[in-house]
């Protein structure tokens, strides 16, 4: 019996594309590359290019992913979006704390300026005779 697989050149996919096609997160693909359970290389821009395992290649050659592959890809995308949301939430909280710190600093500066202005306005000023006679 003859092998039905085509002898074609393997296609390399970006990390994002490979993760979507495999139904896993980009981080999971990166870990597989590091463990050498998945083949790939870094291009001239230091971005991973991934060769998919034969079963994923066959799925792509047969006009798209299986329904379970699509669900997996959507789950991976949801995971990526959730991670992005969490990162943005953390960054927003950090910026809010920084802004609140600036507000407190501004209020303290206003208080100090007002206090100094009051002291200057309330301080007795020497009259002309005191100035002339050198008394204070």
Does residue 72 surpass a pLDDT of 80? Answer: no
Task: Identify the bridge partners of residue 13 per DSSP, sorted by sequence position.
Answer: 50
For the stretch 84-123, pLDDT in tens is 999 999 999 999 999 999 999 999 999 999 999 988 888 7
- The residues, ordered by sequence, that sit 6+ positions from 15 with a Cβ below 8 Å of its Cβ are 26, 29, 30, 47, 48, 50
- Domain-wise residue ranges, the chain: 12-123
Query: What phi-psi label fits residue 90: left (phi over 0), alpha (psi between -120 and 50 degrees) or beta?
Result: alpha
Give the pLDDT of residue 7: 42
Most confident of 13-22, 94-103, 127-136: 94-103
Give the pLDDT of residue 134: 72
State percent of the chain over pLDDT 90: 44
Q: How confident is the model at residue 56 (pLDDT cuts 50, 70, 90)?
A: low
Average pLDDT of the segment spanning 38-55: 88
Q: Using the structure block, give the residue that is written with the tokens 């950090």.
A: 94
Q: Where are the alpha helices (DSSP H) in the chain?
A: 15-22, 26-35, 54-61, 67-122, 128-133
For the stretch 4-13, pLDDT in tens is 344 456 788 8
């Amino acid at each position: 019996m003859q092998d039905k697989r085509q002898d074609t050149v393997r296609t390399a996919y970006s990390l994002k594309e490979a993760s979507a096609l495999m139904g896993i997160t980009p981080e999971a693909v990166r870990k597989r590359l590091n463990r050498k359970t998945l083949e790939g290389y870094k291009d001239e821009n230091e971005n991973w290019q991934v060769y998919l395992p034969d079963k994923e290649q066959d799925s792509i050659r047969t006009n798209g992913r299986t329904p379970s592959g699509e669900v997996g890809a959507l789950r991976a995308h949801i995971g990526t979006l959730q991670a992005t949301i969490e990162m943005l939430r953390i960054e927003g909280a950090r910026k809010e704390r920084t802004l609140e710190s600036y507000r407190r600093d501004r209020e303290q500066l206003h208080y100090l300026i007002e206090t100094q202005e009051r002291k200057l306005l309330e301080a007795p000023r020497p009259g002309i005779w005191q100035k002339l006679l050198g008394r204070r």
